[in-house]
Amino acid sequence: MKKQKSNESYPMEDRALKEAARFMGKELLPLLGVEGSVRRVSPTEAIFLEVGDYLADFNYEMVDGTWKHLEFESDSLSEEDLRRFRAYEAVISYKYGVEVTTYVLCTSNVKRLQTTLTQGMNTYRVEVLRMKDYNADEIILELEEKQSAGTRLERDELLKVLLTSLMDGELSQEARIRRSLEILKKEQEHVEQKQMVPCSLYYMRWR
């Protein structure tokens, strides 16, 4: 069972991702190739019979009434992870009476990840979204050129900047972070304060 973490013990990377998911969910899911339109953010905590406290990373209610369950993982997926995700789905589906699909946003370098769990006659499956499938170098260069041309960035492009440190590419992590921070700083005065929350967490993470 996954216990809720305090802000002090919660990894900065996960905090930044969760804030990005909170404020930019409508852009995040299409960016990751997830089909459907987000209606609103859904509860992540489901208390079952006042015994177990199941705290998922993020849930979205979609326009069609289904839910997308988003989990953040930096390591390989284990059977224990899949059992936990399946428990989240079961409790949420039972409590709210909805269909739930789990997507795992994975920042691991592992290319082949376990996505199914078979127990008895049932097979459970999650959809893995690998951040290493994206090229940070190309995204950074594209956005720098756009800014140089005097064009402001869209919300989904700000989100791409936040995720560049988790992607693949030839640039060193230091260079990638430095250039990404410069992109965000140039946009800071043009965006709403609430949209800069995940950006601020990004700054804090790499100080």
Do 118 and 165 reside in the same domain of the chain?
no
pLDDT higher than threshold 80 for residue 107: yes
pLDDT higher than threshold 60 for residue 114: yes
Give the domain range for residue 78: 12-132
**Residue 88 belongs to some domain of the structure:** yes
Do 48 and 117 reside in the same domain of the chain?
yes
**Domains identified in the chain, total number:** 2
Q: Read off the pLDDT of residues 44-100 as tens digits, 9 standing for 90 and up.
A: 665 544 444 556 788 999 999 999 999 988 888 999 999 999 999 998 999 999 999
**pLDDT for res 28:** 78
**Residue 91 belongs to some domain of the structure:** yes
Grade residue 4 by pLDDT with cuts at 50, 70 and 90: very low
Q: Read off the pLDDT of residues 119-175 as tens digits, 9 standing for 90 and up.
A: 999 999 999 999 899 999 999 999 999 999 999 898 889 888 888 888 999 999 889
Q: What is the mean pLDDT of the chain?
A: 81
Quick one: average pLDDT of 94-116?
A: 91
Element (H, E) at 92: helix 79-96
Between strands 67-73 and 122-125, the pairing is: unpaired
Phi, psi values for residue 69, rounded to 5°? -100, 120
Task: Give this prediction's pTM.
Answer: 0.67
**pLDDT for res 198:** 54
**Among candidate residues 132, 148, 179, the one where a domain is terminated:** 132
Inter-CA distances, 120 with 1, 78, 82, 124, 175, Å: 21, 18, 15, 11, 49
Q: Read off the pLDDT of residues 22-32 as tens digits, 9 standing for 90 and up.
A: 666 778 788 87
